[in-house]
Amino acid sequence: MLLALVQSNEEGQVCYQELIELMSSKRSSSFRRAIANGRRTLQREILLDETGLGLYKRFVRYVAYEILPCETDRRWYFHQNRLCPPPVFIAIVTIVQIIVFMCYGIMLNKWVLQTYQPDFMKSPLVYHPGHRAQVWRFFSYMFMHVGLEQLGFNALLQLMIGVPLEMVHGILRISLLYMAGVLAGSLTVSITDMRAPVVGGSGGVYALCSAHLANVVMNWAGMRCPYKLLRMILALVCMSSEVGRAVWLRFSPPLPSSGPQPSFMAHLSGAVVGISMGLLILRSYEESLQKQCSWWVIIFSFITFLLFAIFWNIFAYELLGVQIPPPP
């Protein structure tokens, strides 16, 4: 294993931290078992040099270079990858979002700016400050979207980034990151933009995107994905444009409406969740999160924010005398 680490480094060296991790077996039990059984045999050539691969294995190799910054981890993921369990969480969420959007589009005969339809805002899935007691709305709003452009943007990003992340890091970690972004989005809106409703899965999408972009930046030298600088600039431009559009719809709606338009704060809170919680998850490939002190610090911070938001939603609206628009 020490030889494999040396061969995977361009300078033929092993840093002190890599040696410590190898000798103290900080990796997961499956990783240690693989080393003990001699199944982690790594060749001298880099993974890109392998030829004669089928379509699926080429896609797995692409995912490995897209997500993982270390050649050793890329080879390990490539050789131990299995189709079971498949990356189904992001795919199921996207399919449900599309089905819900199509149902409301057909029912309302409207495919853009759907929030201007009263029947759309009457949905039991939309988060509305007047319905804060219905706890499921803090999650279910992720299935509703303002229009075709918001759905297309979110679906494209979460499929392009979420599916590779789920293939590498597993359904449990990626679903936790996505749902944490969704919950943080609605709770942040309930604190910072108390009169506004929320629709769209942008909190979860931005959690995935910001975590991946932060991981690329933190491991810039090791990432081998093609055109990484250009792709990062394009991603940042697209994400900024979506936030700008959400701000415009919130404060300068193009049509008169009966109440405030959906808030944009879910985008920003999802990005914060991705940079904090998501970055640690993505940097801990095949390592146990429970053994890392920083993981528990992040969990404690998130739980503290959750408790604060619960008390805020119970007491702050009446104490501050916030005039909530009547629920549709």
Q: How does pLDDT run across 4-32, given as a tens digit for each residue?
A: 777 777 778 877 767 766 666 555 554 55
Domains of the chain: 88-250+259-320 (1.20.1540.10)
Instruction: Check 123, 202, 269, 276 and give the catalytic one.
Output: 202
Q: How does pLDDT run across 238-292, given as a tens digit for each residue?
A: 899 889 988 988 888 777 766 788 899 999 999 999 999 988 888 877 777 887 8
Catalytic residue list contains 128: no
Instruction: Residue 201: name the closest of 277, 248, 266 by CA.
Output: 266
Q: How does pLDDT run across 45-94, given as a tens digit for each residue?
A: 567 777 778 888 888 888 988 898 887 788 878 877 777 778 899 999 99
Region 293-321 average pLDDT = 93
pLDDT at 36: 52
**Is the model more confident about 159 or about 26?**
159
Report residue 222's pLDDT band, with 50, 70 and 90 as the boundaries: confident
Cβ contacts of 115 within 8 Å, gap of 6 or more:
121, 146, 197, 199, 257, 261, 262
Can you tell me the distance from the alpha carbon of 87 to that of 95, in angstroms, rounded to the nearest whole number? Answer: 13
Can you tell me the distance from the alpha carbon of 11 to that of 14, in angstroms, rounded to the nearest whole number? Answer: 9
Catalytic residue list contains 202: yes
pLDDT at 37: 52
Look up the pTM and report it: 0.85
Instruction: Check 128, 145, 212, 267 and give the catalytic one.
Output: 267
pLDDT at position 294 over 70:
yes
The answer to whether 108 touches 114, Cβ cutoff 8 Å, is: yes
Region 180-188 average pLDDT = 96
Instruction: Residue 185: name the closest of 140, 153, 146, 149 by CA.
Output: 140
pLDDT at 31: 53
Report residue 309's pLDDT band, with 50, 70 and 90 as the boundaries: very high
Report residue 135's pLDDT band, with 50, 70 and 90 as the boundaries: very high
pLDDT at position 97 over 50:
yes
The three-state DSSP-derived secondary structure of 66-90 is HHCCCHHHHHHHHHHCCCCCCCCHH
How many percent of the chain have pLDDT more than 70? 91
The answer to whether 212 touches 150, Cβ cutoff 8 Å, is: no
pLDDT at position 39 over 50:
no
Region 140-162 average pLDDT = 92
Mean pLDDT of the chain: 85
